[in-house]
């Protein structure tokens, strides 16, 4: 028990002395106070690990003193000492935040156990606080790179909405970092110590999405050998992040709307509703208004999710972020690959700045990763950057619709990968489902 | 250390059958023990409400019996002792002080409804004397459950530990003597 500091507050000298002796023999640092006023004075001078407090004292009584101590040190662990007659008051003290109470006179064992448990509790609380601080540090949106005024505005919005429990809709092209923003909102909110559960609605076939979201009972369908909790139930007290919300089927839209209205889910094959408390964040790169107009997306669901919207600008609209992002990725991959690459040549910088980045930040990240793999020097040069930079004319300034540029780029990458969708999607910095959608949209044959 | 440690038998404790206690303790730790008999009016320290004797006051009075050539005095009494905050005590000592008190009342098997066993009783007494004496030398409770300085709440805890100091506590004792 060496090193722990204890304060004994009792108006009876014999009690103070007895306890002091007892705790000194146990290796505690002990201080004593004979009144509430003296105790408060000592509290101002330094923190104590444990405060043993007599409930009945002339002048300031134990309950008032406890309240005042908690004002000075909210983490203070207080053990109330009471005579038989005042057990009810001791219970009252516990309701007000005392750790426990002990009735005088007590067994030596009782006191030792109480103090041991209190210290264990104190250590755990402190450890918990440290862990929470570490989590906050690791998950703060300082990790999202964005020096441009556009991204600064996004960060402001993240800060504003994090303090609330509002539903958030994040909109932006593929690869702009919608999930990162969702995570930043979650980890800055009061729900940060509970999970954020992400579901990519566009990547999961419709029939599986239902059981993925709502869970299922054993035997609910062929292959349901076990009971499984759905993602919605898993996000209880935390955040549910539904990515590609614009891609869900009309039936799923109805089911989801019901859950959002009632905050209750019924697993497939089950008949019992589960109450779930979650914050919803959705993301999409689709034009939801157009989908509503075309009656492909329910209007009521649209209004339900479109409470607070954050638009993530594409990388080509915030060119000021290209180089800081590139430098960040170089640092990240240099560490991961153990390569001494530290900077980019001015020509390579120019090349990065001149490109339109249809795959946004994800594409930039992939380009840098690829360059780092092939690069042999300490400086990333034009030769290290993906070959398509060399072979292609600079498209900026030419009168081409963005869609045309995107189409051409996809065709080129597909040709390069000999029609391999997985590789092409990776090079483009988008997921396979998005690539399939784009192939369909532009009528590109593999 | 040349000065003696006096073992003060207060009012001839009941069933005290060990004239060689001082020699036996000397075998446990190399300290010069010396037994003496003293008389004290313990009724002055009796609490009618609790049916026990106030240990701290007995200890305070005991110090008056410390002879000139004495370094420490350990009183041995057969009455049940207490301090206001605790229900009972096996012994009390002044941390870094001159005096300690040990009660045999709860060391005897009969107190727990068990058959008399003088051997166990004697072992417990030796351990309690060494424990309280250790406190007067500035030793605090030790985590080594076999060390005599390990804290004992119940008599079973006393039985578990040995009648000797662990190497760390012994070292501290040596340092104390050097000072």
According to DSSP, the residues that pair with A197 across neighbouring strands are A240
Backbone angles phi, psi at B110, to 5 degrees: -60, -30
Chain A residues 111-150 with CB within 8 Å of chain B? 111-112
3-class DSSP state for residue A169? strand
Residue A84 — very low, low, confident or very high, per pLDDT cuts 50/70/90? Answer: low
Q: What is the pLDDT of residue A136?
A: 63
For chain A, the straight-line distance linking the first and the last C-alpha, in angstroms and rounded, comes to 72
> For B19-72, how does the pLDDT look when each residue is reduced to its tens digit (9 = 90+)?
889 988 988 777 889 999 999 999 999 999 899 999 999 999 999 999 998 999
Residue A112's closest CA among B1, B31, B153?
B153
Dig out the tokens for A108 from the structure: 């030596």
Count of H helices and E strands in chain B? Answer: 5, 9
Residue A129 — very low, low, confident or very high, per pLDDT cuts 50/70/90? Answer: confident
CB contacts, 8 Å: B89 with chain A: 108
Residue A393 — very low, low, confident or very high, per pLDDT cuts 50/70/90? Answer: very low
- CB contact set of B146 (below 8 Å; sequence gap of 6+): B160, B161, B162, B166
Residue A273 — very low, low, confident or very high, per pLDDT cuts 50/70/90? Answer: confident
Q: Pick the catalytic residue: B92, B123, B128, B132? A: B132
Dig out the tokens for A95 from the structure: 């309701």
Q: What is the pLDDT of residue A137?
A: 57
Residue A34 — very low, low, confident or very high, per pLDDT cuts 50/70/90? Answer: very high
Q: How many CB atoms lie within 10 A of CB A205?
A: 9
3-class DSSP state for residue A54? strand
How, if at all, do strands A50-54 and A77-82 pair?
parallel
- CB contact set of A338 (below 8 Å; sequence gap of 6+): none
Taking any CB pair shorter than 8 Å as contact, residues of chain B touching chain A are 50, 56, 82-89, 92-95, 135, 140-141, 151, 153-154
CB contact under 8 A, B86 and A22: yes
> pLDDT exceeding 90 applies to what percent of chain A?
26
**Helical pair A87-95 and A62-72, crossing angle rounded to 10 deg:** 20
The mean pLDDT of A344-356, rounded to a whole number, is 87
Interface probe with B: pick from A6, A13, A19, A25, most Cβ of B within 10 Å:
A25
DSSP, res A272: -
**Is any Cβ of chain B less than 8 angstroms from the Cβ of A26?**
yes
CB contacts, 8 Å: A108 with chain B: 86-89, 153
CB contacts, 8 Å: A1 with chain B: 141
CA-angle at B55, arms to B52 and B59, nearest 5°? 145
Q: How many CB atoms lie within 10 A of CB A148?
A: 18
> For B70-98, how does the pLDDT look when each residue is reduced to its tens digit (9 = 90+)?
999 999 999 999 998 888 999 999 999 99
Q: Report the distance separating Cα A86 and Cα A92, nearest Å.
A: 10
CB contacts, 8 Å: B92 with chain A: 21
Residue pair A102/A112 in contact by the 8 Å Cβ criterion = no
Interface probe with B: pick from A23, A54, A108, A109, most Cβ of B within 10 Å:
A108
- Residue carrying the six token digits 């479109």: A306
According to DSSP, the residues that pair with A380 across neighbouring strands are A344
CB contact under 8 A, B87 and A27: no
CB contact under 8 A, A25 and B87: no
A113 CA: distance to closest CA in chain B (Å): 11
Q: Report the distance separating Cα A428 and Cα A236, nearest Å.
A: 35
**Is any Cβ of chain B less than 8 angstroms from the Cβ of A22?**
yes
How, if at all, do strands A50-54 and A29-33 pair?
unpaired
ipTM: 0.74
> For B99-127, how does the pLDDT look when each residue is reduced to its tens digit (9 = 90+)?
999 999 999 999 999 999 999 999 999 99
C-alpha to C-alpha distances, A142 to A146, A154, A175, nearest whole angstrom: 9, 12, 19
Question: Which of A25, A81, A109 is nearest residue B140 as measured by Cβ atoms?
Answer: A25
Q: Report the distance separating Cα A323 and Cα A328, nearest Å.
A: 8
CB contact under 8 A, B56 and A108: no
CB contact under 8 A, B85 and A25: no
Which residue intervals of A277-355 are DSSP H helices? 288-293, 299-305, 322-337, 346-354
Cis peptide bond upstream of A105, omega within 30: yes
Dig out the tokens for B81 from the structure: 């002792």
CB contacts, 8 Å: B93 with chain A: 25
Question: Which of B84, B92, B153 is nearest residue A14 as measured by Cβ atoms?
Answer: B84
Q: What is the mean pLDDT of chain B?
A: 91
Question: Which of B86, B95, B140 is nearest residue A105 as measured by Cβ atoms?
Answer: B86
- Residue carrying the six token digits 């090079």: A427
3-class DSSP state for residue A247? helix
Handedness of CA A64, A66, A70, A73 (dihedral sign): positive
CB contact under 8 A, A107 and B92: no
Residue B151's closest CA among A17, A108, A16?
A108
Q: What is the DSSP string of B16-84?
A: ---TTHHHHHHHHS---EEEEEE---GGGGEETTTTEEEHHHHHHHHGGG--TTEEEEEEEE-S-EEET
CB contact under 8 A, B151 and A27: no
**Helical pair A432-442 and A402-416, crossing angle rounded to 10 deg:** 120
The mean pLDDT of B148-169, rounded to a whole number, is 92
Under 8 Å CB pairs connecting chains A and B tally to 62
A108 CA: distance to closest CA in chain B (Å): 6
CA atoms within 13 A on the CB side of B11: 12
> For A145-201, how does the pLDDT look when each residue is reduced to its tens digit (9 = 90+)?
788 888 889 999 999 999 999 999 999 998 888 988 998 899 889 998 888 999 998
Q: Report the distance separating Cα A217 and Cα A227, nearest Å.
A: 4
Whether residue B128 lies in the annotated active site: no
> HEC string of A339-360?
CCCCEECHHHHHHHHHCCCCCH
């Amino acid at each position: 028990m060496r090193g722990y500091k204890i304060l004994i507050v009792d108006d009876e000298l014999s009690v103070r002395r007895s306890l002091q002796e007892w705790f000194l023999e146990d290796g505690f640092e002990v201080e004593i106070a004979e009144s509430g006023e003296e105790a408060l004075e000592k509290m101002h001078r330094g923190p104590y690990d444990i405060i043993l407090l007599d409930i009945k004292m002339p002048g300031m009584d134990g309950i008032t003193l406890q309240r005042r101590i908690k004002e000075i040190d909210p983490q203070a662990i207080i053990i109330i000492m009471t005579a038989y007659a005042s057990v009810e008051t001791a219970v009252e003290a516990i309701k007000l935040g005392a750790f426990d109470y002990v009735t005088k006179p007590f067994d030596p064992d009782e006191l030792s156990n109480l103090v041991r448990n209190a210290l264990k509790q104190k250590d755990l609380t402190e450890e918990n606080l440290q862990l929470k601080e570490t989590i906050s540090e690791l998950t703060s949106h300082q990790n999202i790179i964005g020096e441009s005024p556009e991204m600064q505005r996004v960060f402001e919005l993240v800060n504003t909405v994090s303090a609330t429990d509002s539903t958030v809709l994040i909109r932006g092209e593929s690869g702009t970092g919608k999930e990162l923003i969702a995570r930043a909102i979650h980890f800055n909110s009061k729900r940060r110590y509970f999970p954020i559960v992400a579901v990519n609605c566009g990547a999961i076939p419709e029939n599986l999405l239902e059981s993925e979201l709502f869970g299922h009972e054993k035997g609910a369908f062929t292959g349901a050998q076990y009971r499984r909790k759905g993602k919605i139930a898993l996000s209880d007290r935390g955040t549910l992040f539904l990515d590609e919300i614009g891609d869900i089927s009309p039936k799923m839209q109805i089911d989801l709307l019901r859950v959002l209205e009632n905050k209750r889910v019924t697993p497939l094959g089950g008949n019992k509703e589960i109450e779930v408390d979650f914050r919803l964040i959705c993301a999409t790169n689709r034009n939801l208004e157009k989908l509503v107009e075309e009656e492909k997306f329910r209007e009521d669901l649209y209004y339900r999710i479109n409470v607070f919207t954050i638009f993530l600008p594409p990388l080509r609209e915030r060119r000021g972020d290209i180089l800081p992002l590139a430098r960040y990725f170089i640092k990240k991959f240099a560490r991961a690959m153990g390569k001494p690459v530290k900077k980019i040549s001015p020509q390579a910088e120019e090349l990065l700045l001149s490109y339109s980045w249809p795959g946004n930040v994800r594409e930039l990240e992939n380009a840098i990763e690829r360059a780092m793999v092939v690069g042999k020097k300490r400086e990333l040069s034009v030769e290290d950057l993906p070959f398509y930079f060399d072979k292609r004319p600079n498209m900026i300034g030419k009168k081409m619709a963005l869609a045309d540029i995107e189409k051409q780029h996809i065709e080129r990458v597909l040709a390069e990968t000999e029609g391999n969708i997985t590789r092409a999607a990776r090079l483009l910095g988008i997921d396979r489902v998005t690539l399939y959608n784009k192939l369909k949209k532009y009528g590109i044959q593999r | 250390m040349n000065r003696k440690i006096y073992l003060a038998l207060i009012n001839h404790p009941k069933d005290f059958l060990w004239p060689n206690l001082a020699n036996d303790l000397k075998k446990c730790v190399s300290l010069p023990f010396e037994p003496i008999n003293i008389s004290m009016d313990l009724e002055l320290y009796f609490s009618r409400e609790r049916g026990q004797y106030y240990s701290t006051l007995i200890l305070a009075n005991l110090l008056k019996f410390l002879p000139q050539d004495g370094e420490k005095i350990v009183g041995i009494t057969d009455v049940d002792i207490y301090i206001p905050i605790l229900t009972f005590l096996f012994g009390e000592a002044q941390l870094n002080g001159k005096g300690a008190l040990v009660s045999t009342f709860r060391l005897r098997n009969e107190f727990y409804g068990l058959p008399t066993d003088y051997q166990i009783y004697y072992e417990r007494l030796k351990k309690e004397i060494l424990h309280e004496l250790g406190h007067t030398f500035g030793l605090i409770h030790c985590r080594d459950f076999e060390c005599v300085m390990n804290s004992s709440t119940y008599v079973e805890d006393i039985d578990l530990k040995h009648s000797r100091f662990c190497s760390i506590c012994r070292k501290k004792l040596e340092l104390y003597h050097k000072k």
